[in-house]
């Protein structure tokens, strides 16, 4: 019952404008499953508009979309209707802002801005389930950026377009993701490399190695020692256990693990376990 009291108080604070620390309190309420199903849904519903005001529209839409999906799954009318209303309002606000931006840019020769606008239009179209407009807007954004020689921007749009087409089951999706990856590799854009390789694995797309294309590039393949340590980590060994087994210091094992995750475009040992098949590909490629 304590969680319900805290939730009701958070709702009252939201309505009355007492927002000091509210975002953190609502996040904590929305994260764990409360003892009462309805209260849990209410907490997550409240989290949506708080995110809209204090974080990003994307976070808010994702939260509200999850609430709607869960309500439909359990057959709960409340808070299905207010969640749908809040989501529609969020998308409508974004749509209006994008339309205003398009009006300001209609006579401007600014390829980077136009590419960004077309990408925004694609996101709005995606929220509207307008597949044709998503495809058209992303293709236009990619063309604008590439024609202006904006290599990095073009790669980002290519990645988004590849993700979209893979999700739609289009055969051209994997090639677009690989093209973006190779561009990031040539730029040594490590965060982008990590993101797109994770995206490729999520779509079941093979990640080429080396990432830059052409001759093999140093720093992208696992060494024998790194692969050995990675396999032990996948088997559930801790750094200390691996160090004892291989007669290494825990610090050395930690360094090898860090290098391995970076090269594979992964962020944690848990991701490594989920994508352990890539170690077999690494071994067969030697």
Peptide bond into 151 cis (omega under 30): no
Say which residue the tokens 């869960």 belong to: 70
d(CA 145, CA 27): 38
Query: Maximum CA pair distance of the chain?
Result: 67
Render pLDDT for 155-207 as a digit per residue (tens, 0 to 9). Answer: 999 999 999 999 999 999 999 999 999 888 888 788 888 889 888 888 888 88
DSSP state of 18: -
**pLDDT band for position 216 (50/70/90)?**
very low
Structure-block tokens of residue 72: 């439909």
DSSP 212: T
Query: For residue 69, how many other CB atoms are within 10 A of its CB?
Result: 11
Residue 275 has pLDDT above 80, yes or no: no
| The pLDDT of residue 104 | 85
Q: Which residues contact 115 (CB under 8 A, 6 or more apart)?
A: 141, 142, 144, 145, 150, 153, 154, 157
Tell me the pLDDT tens digit for each residue of 108-164: 888 888 888 898 888 888 878 899 999 999 999 999 989 888 888 899 999 999 999
Q: What is the pLDDT, as a whole number, of residue 2?
A: 61
| Mean pLDDT to the nearest integer, 94-103 | 83
Extract the tokens encoding 71.
């309500």
């Amino acid at each position: 019952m304590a969680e319900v009291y805290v939730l009701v108080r958070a709702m009252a604070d939201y309505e009355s404008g007492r927002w000091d620390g509210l975002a953190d309190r609502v996040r904590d309420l929305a994260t764990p499953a409360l003892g009462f199903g309805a209260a849990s849904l209410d907490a997550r519903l409240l989290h949506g508009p708080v995110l809209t005001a204090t974080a990003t529209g994307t976070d808010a839409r994702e939260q509200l979309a999850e609430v709607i999906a869960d309500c439909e799954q359990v057959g709960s009318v409340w808070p299905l209707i207010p969640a749908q209303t809040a989501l529609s309002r969020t998308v409508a606000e974004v749509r209006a802002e994008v339309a205003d931006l398009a009006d300001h840019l209609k006579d401007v020769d600014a390829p980077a801005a136009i590419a960004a606008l077309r990408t925004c239009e694609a996101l709005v179209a995606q929220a509207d389930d307008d597949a044709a407009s998503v495809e058209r807007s992303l293709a236009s954004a990619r063309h604008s950026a590439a024609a202006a020689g904006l290599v990095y921007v073009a790669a980002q749009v290519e990645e988004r377009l590849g993700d979209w087409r893979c999700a739609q089951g289009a055969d051209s999706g994997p090639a677009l993701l690989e093209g973006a990856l190779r561009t990031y590799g040539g730029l040594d854009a490590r965060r982008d490399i990590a993101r797109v390789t994770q995206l490729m694995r999520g779509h079941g797309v093979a990640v080429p190695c080396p990432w830059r294309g052409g001759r093999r590039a140093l720093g992208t393949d696992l060494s024998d020692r790194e692969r050995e340590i990675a396999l032990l980590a996948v088997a559930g060994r801790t750094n200390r256990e691996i160090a004892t087994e291989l007669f290494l210091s825990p610090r050395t094992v930690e360094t090898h693990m860090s290098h391995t995750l970076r090269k594979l475009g992964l962020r944690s040992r848990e991701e490594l376990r989920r994508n352990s098949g890539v170690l077999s590909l690494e071994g067969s490629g030697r």
